[in-house]
Structures are given as structure tokens and as C-alpha cells.
Amino acid sequence: MSIRDSAATVEAAVRSVLAQSLEDWELIVIDDGSKDDGAARVAALGDPRLRIFGHMQSRGLACRLNEAVALSRGEFIARMDADDVCYPDRLAAQLALLKRDPALDLVSCKAVVFQGAGELIGVFPVATEHAVIAARPMSGFYFPHPTWCGRAAWFRTHPYDESMIRAQDQELLLRTAATSRFGAVDAILFGYRQERLDVVKSLKGRTLFARAVWREGRRSGRSIAAVAGVTAQLAKTAADVLAFNLGLQRVLLRGRYEPASARDIAQWSAVWAAVSGGNSNIYSCVA
């Protein structure tokens, strides 16, 4: 977990790791030049499995994730952001899948998407088969980065590109899809925070990924597919900008996800209440 000015959310995120049904883990927290007391709040939780490393200067997410991989001592590596929440069985379920299928390198899971104080937006679905996950690599991967769990050897063989200040995950998946195997647990195991649309960040991410697509297309001789992928990124950017200008960010965000069922809502409510100290503000995205 890389943190930067995350004091408002990091305690709930770390509590969700402390509550895992799988107890044999270490959590490497790298402070990427924060100006708040987020790292101190993590340390105050007082668990010996927490390893905290601080830096005065920010080097970006890709750099800190590579650093965390180098520091890790386990056979498997899972990641999350400092504003997300793990369900109690997240690690156990993902490791069970990796152990059951030795051919898998990296797995994801379904996630509920939330904002603010636990307001539920919808469900982020994922495919479970590699062929579906990587069906259109030049157009991107529906494989949420904070939910990743994979073999440490894979992460060490395939480091993040530290020049990617955004879309680091998409670039890595694009670069490795042809020689790796991805999968997912077919269950909701994660709470993925998605606040309102930031059109500037979205534009930067899509621009960087479009460049990565073009490089990969030239490298692999798939220029036509690369042109289609770049065009897809431009179309998505145009939709984001239009939604932002029309004040429809929330509508666009909800449109990206599936509706949550009553069971999904009840499970999320319990998880959020447990990690947030009962400060729950759960709303159904279903009318």
C-alpha cells in the first residue's frame, strides 16, 4: 500500500486488512512524501505485521509499488489503495484460487464501488477467464488495480513502468497479457472507492495508455489494432469531458457499474460499519 496524504481514509483501509480471516501476512505501507499524519495513524494501530517506510519526496505510485515488491517477503503479493476496503475473506479467497490453479499469475475479484462515508454506487464486475479479461488488450482491461493479488515472482519479473504517472496497471497488463495468465474470484471481496469524475486525471491516464498502446502495437506488429485502441481511448475521453461539462459525472459513474442486490448492500453495510467505527452512510443504487 502506497499512501500520500491519506490520513482521512487509511485507518479504515488498514483495519480491513487486520480483520482478514487469513492471518499470515505482512502489510508494507510506503509513505510517498505525505504532509499529513497518515503513517503515524497506521503505526498507532500497533500490529507487528505492519511495516511502514517513509519518504520525504513523492516519487509516484509505480515507483512505490516496485519498492514494496522488493521489500516483500511472501510468496504472494496483494495490493490495495489507502482509501479502499478489503472484505474479511479477500486474501484467503484469492490465495486459494492461486494455489488451486498454478498456471494463474494474477487474480482480481468483484468489488462494490462506493463514495464518501460508504455510499454505495454499484458493483464492479470482472470476468474470471483470461481469454475474456484479455480479449481486447489494446482497448484496455476491466481488471481493477486495487484488487490485484498474484505471485511475487510475477511482480518481480514484470515491474511497473515508473514513467507512467497514471494508468500504470493498464500498461503493465498490456505489456504482459500475451505471456501471463489472469483470472478472478467470482465473488465480491472488495470495496473500491471512486469519488466524482476528475476529468484532468482521466485525460492524463487515457493519454498515457494510448501512448502505451501505440508502442505495443509497433513492437508487436499490430498497428491496426493499436489505432483502434487509441481511437477507443479518445472516445472514452470525449465522453468523460462531455459528462463533466454537462454536470453528469454522477450519472456517468453509475452507468459504468452493475446495480447492487439487497444481499450486496447488506454485506457492504456490515463491512463498512466494522472498519469505519460504525460511521455508516449506505445508500442503495437500486431504485
DSSP for 71-124, please give it.
H--SSEEE---TT-EE-TTHHHHHHHHHHH-TT--EEEEEEEEEETTTEEEEEE
* Cell 472507492 belongs to residue: 193
Instruction: Give me the residues paired with residue 51 across strands.
Output: 28
Q: What is the predicted pLDDT for the residue at 195?
A: 80
User: Sign of the CA dihedral 162, 37, 120, 183?
Assistant: positive
- The DSSP element (H or E) to which 106 belongs, if any, is strand 106-115
Which residues of the chain are modeled with pLDDT < 70?
196-200, 214, 234, 236-255, 278-287
The answer for residues whose C-beta is within 8 angstroms of residue 141's C-beta and 6 or more apart is 133, 134, 169, 170, 173, 174, 177
CATH fold of 74-195+257-276 reads Spore Coat Polysaccharide Biosynthesis Protein SpsA; Chain A (3.90.550)
85 phi, psi to nearest 5 deg: -140, 130
Amino acid occupying residue 62: A
**Four-point Cα dihedral 32, 87, 281, 260, nearest 10:** 120
Q: What is the predicted pLDDT for the residue at 232?
A: 74
- Give the CA distances from residue 171 to residues 119, 159, 168, 180, 218, in Å, rounded to whole numbers and listed in that order: 30, 11, 5, 14, 15
pLDDT digits (tens, 9 = 90+) for 149-172: 999 999 999 999 999 988 999 999
What is the number of alpha carbons within 13 Å of residue 85 lying toward its C-beta? 28
245/84 Cα distance (integer angstroms): 28
Q: What is the predicted pLDDT for the residue at 114?
A: 95
Instruction: Give me the residues paired with residue 185 across strands.
Output: 109
User: Sign of the CA dihedral 35, 41, 46, 47?
Assistant: negative
**Does the global pTM surpass 0.85?**
yes
> Widest CA span of the chain, in angstroms?
54
Residue of 181, 37, 196 whose CA lies nearest to 105: 181
Q: What is the predicted pLDDT for the residue at 237?
A: 65
Domain ranges for the chain, please list them.
74-195+257-276
pLDDT digits (tens, 9 = 90+) for 129-147: 999 999 988 888 999 999 9
